[in-house]
Amino acid sequence: MQIAVIAGDGIGKDVTVEAVKVLQQVSSVFDAPIVLEHLPWGADHFLRTGETLPAGGYDLLRSFDAVFVGALGDPRVPDNRHARDILLGTRFELDLYVNYRPVRLLADRLCPLKHRGRADVNFVVFRENTEGVYVGIGGRFKAGTPDEVAIQEEINTYKGVHRIIRYAFAYAATHNLTKVCMADKSNAMQQGHALWQRVFHEVAAEFPGIAATHQYIDALAMFLVRDPGQYEVIVTNNLFGDIVTDIGGALQGGLGMAASGNLHPGRTSLFEPVHGSAPPLAGRNVANPMGAILSVALMLETLGPTAEAKAIEAAVEATVRAGETTADIGGSLGTREVGDRIAAALM
């Protein structure tokens, strides 16, 4: 198995060291060789060379079985140009249309909600990952003047909406789940989100055994806090999915716990924690590496070695149960020490 590793910026570097440590340990415990190639792309590389990713960079990524990313974002690059090319660019160029973000609470005490626990926080979010407002179509007129006009278009295509909604239903069907909730803002966005409505009803009709419900995104955000137990599968657009999965991170104990996969079934996919580069925490051995480590588990689950993936998940759960965690979820260990405990728990 050949994996490209882009540690990126800030705490992306800190958590990637631990994710790689756990990946190497699992590979040795299961005697399944893994070849890693570290790519230096990120803010430092951009500031030194002026290059976000090299010519042929996306083709290079396609030559691996999977890509692991720490995080991208650095205050020295105020327009985040490198992150747009490396992260969003890869999502678009590799057509990684499924952003798979499971939200699973690993211990009741991590839940920020009163009287809620593991039974209430266990669902997956499928975020459309190649369209919406992220495509960067638009422009500015009279920029820098009091008359400035800024246009940022939202793109919704039948193909794009259909494939993510269908993926969500198919996932539910193959995982013995019976509920899919689609969230949009079709009461205000009468063109693009009318398409989501139409496609949702069309696809739901193919899956009569699955209860298909709809919530407007504002109501869904509220219900995620009041009653997250009602959800099994949520499917939504790119921007709304970005926002609700940060709420999902909070429900798991914090952003440091949340994992994700950017998928195109059958092709090279990209795995990363949901969190960003958290510049104030960078290099201080305080960032929680569990989201990154659980993203390695998602990567293995997707590539096939499910026993390895389950072993990593079990090791993370055991480490959480033992309270051997970073401070954001109540422990007193550093990033490296948590990585060591999880790697040791794999044996």
Closer residue to ligand IPM in complex, CB, 101/341:
101
DSSP state letters, 11-62? HHHHHHHHHHHHHHHHHHHTT---EEEE---SHHHHHHHS-SS-TTHHHHHH
Whole-angstrom distance, CA of residue 228 vs CA of residue 225: 6
Using CB under 6 A as the binding rule, whether residue 182 contacts ligand NAD is answered as no
Using CB under 6 A as the binding rule, whether residue 328 contacts ligand NAD is answered as yes
Among 5, 39, 83, 345, binds ligand IPM (CB under 6 A): 83
- Binding residues for ligand IPM, how many (CB under 6 A)? 7
Whole-angstrom distance, CA of residue 317 vs CA of residue 172: 24
Amino acid at 319: T
State the nearest-atom distance from the C-beta of 258 to ligand NAD, in Å. 9
Q: Is 85 a catalytic residue?
A: no
Binding-site partner at residue 255 among Mn ion, ligand NAD, ligand IPM, none, CB < 5 to 8 Å by type:
ligand NAD
Using CB under 5 A as the binding rule, whether residue 242 contacts Mn ion is answered as yes
Strands (E), 41-178: 66-71, 98-104, 122-128, 138-141, 149-152
Residue nearest to Mn ion (CB): 242
Q: Is 185 a catalytic residue?
A: yes
Whole-angstrom distance, CA of residue 61 vs CA of residue 3: 9
Task: Select which of 14, 21, 97, 134 is catalytic.
Answer: 134
The answer to whether the Cα torsion of 270, 275, 280, 281 is positive or negative is negative
Q: Is 95 a catalytic residue?
A: no
Task: Select which of 59, 95, 218, 227 is catalytic.
Answer: 218
Site string for ligand NAD, 79-108 (x = CB under 6 A): -x--x---x---------------------
Q: Give the CA distances from residue 48 to residues 13, 41, 42, 55, in Å, rounded to whole numbers and listed in that order.
A: 17, 11, 10, 16
Task: Select which of 44, 58, 65, 185 is catalytic.
Answer: 185
Among 272, 301, 308, 313, binds ligand NAD (CB under 6 A): 272
Site string for ligand IPM, 36-75 (x = CB under 6 A): -------------------------------------x--
104-108 own/partner pairs: CB under 8 Å, 24+ apart: 104/252, 105/251, 105/252, 105/253, 106/252, 106/253, 106/257, 106/316, 106/317, 106/320, 107/253, 107/317, 107/320, 107/321
Using CB under 6 A as the binding rule, whether residue 242 contacts ligand IPM is answered as yes
| DSSP-based three-state secondary structure for 190 | coil
State the nearest-atom distance from the C-beta of 275 to ligand IPM, in Å. 8
Which candidate, 187, 239, 177, places its Cα nearest to that of 214? 187
Contacts to ligand NAD by CB under 6 A: 11, 15, 71-73, 80, 83, 87, 254-256, 272, 275-278, 281, 287-288, 291, 328
Q: List active site positions.
A: 134, 185, 218, 242, 246
Q: Which residues bind ligand IPM (CB under 6 A)?
A: 73, 83, 87-88, 242, 274, 276
